[in-house]
Structure 1
Amino acid sequence: MATAEGYLRRLTRRLTEDPEQQDVEVLSDEAATTGAQRAIDCRRGQEVTMVGTLRAVETNAKGCAGGVRAELFDGTDAVMLVWLGQRRIAGIESGRTLRVHGRLGKLENGTKAIYNPHYEIQK
């Protein structure tokens, strides 16, 4: 009987919990299991490795000198990935999961950013 109660409790939680919150938990857990750093803990100037999902991708973005910008979200914070001088990068599209490595900086507006990161497409 306890097993059925536990199952019903988990099912009820899944059905009533905000879907965005569920995604945040999944992303955060996934990043932790890969040994990547959490974006919220990273500071400017650090060399970092992160895993997250691309939420938005812009090509030829203003102020990006004809580059590509992509927002990576790992469940704790967002980091802007900026590839300078690129018009398009194959495989870099919304919904993709990436593992990125580079030095953390900031954009003019204070947003965390990694310029020209090394990346691996995970899914």
Structure 2
Amino acid sequence: MIAQATPVSDLRPRDVAAVAGRIVSIRVEPRDAAPTLTARVDDGTGRVEAIFMGRRAIAGIEPGARIRLEGRVCSTDALPCMYNPRFELG
């Protein structure tokens, strides 16, 4: 079971956190690049990217789906992100 959700607006780099929201977009790296699936999740306070290395598809991860993520928050210039987070759909 994933811990209590933290608002995206309160995420801090290097913390382990849980986030719940709706997937607003997905991006898959081209065939000639290393397999990577990125899901952008919005919880109403902000957006976070869940980056799944080594995957081009995961059943149920699609725009509009509700998801809960748990992982270490990384800081980027654009959005906070989590690499290979634990997740629950629904």
Q: TM-score, normalised by structure 2?
A: 0.87
| Deviation, structure 1 residue 118 | 0.4
Residue 9 of structure 1 corresponds to which residue in structure 2? none
Alpha carbon RMSD of aligned pairs, Å? 2.0
2: CA distance between counterparts of 1:66 and 1:106?
21
Question: Is 1:48 the counterpart of 2:48 in the alignment?
Answer: no
Show structure 2 runs of 5+ residues with no match: none
Q: Which has the higher helix share?
A: 1
| Deviation, structure 1 residue 65 | 2.6
Letter paired with 1:49: A
Count residues in correspondence.
Answer: 87
Rg larger for: 1
Measured against aligned partners, the alpha-carbon deviations of 1:59-82 in whole angstroms (never above 9, x if no partner) come to 226xx7321001000000100110
1: CA distance between counterparts of 2:70 and 2:4?
12
Q: Which has the higher strand share?
A: 2
Q: Identity across aligned pairs (percent)?
A: 29
Q: TM-score, normalised by structure 1?
A: 0.65
- Aligned equivalent of 1:116, options 79, 84, 90: 84
Counterparts of 1:1-123 in structure 2 under 5 Å? 35-60=4-29, 65-107=34-76, 109-122=77-90
1: CA distance between counterparts of 2:50 and 2:4?
20
Residue 18 of structure 1 corresponds to which residue in structure 2? none
| Deviation, structure 1 residue 56 | 0.1
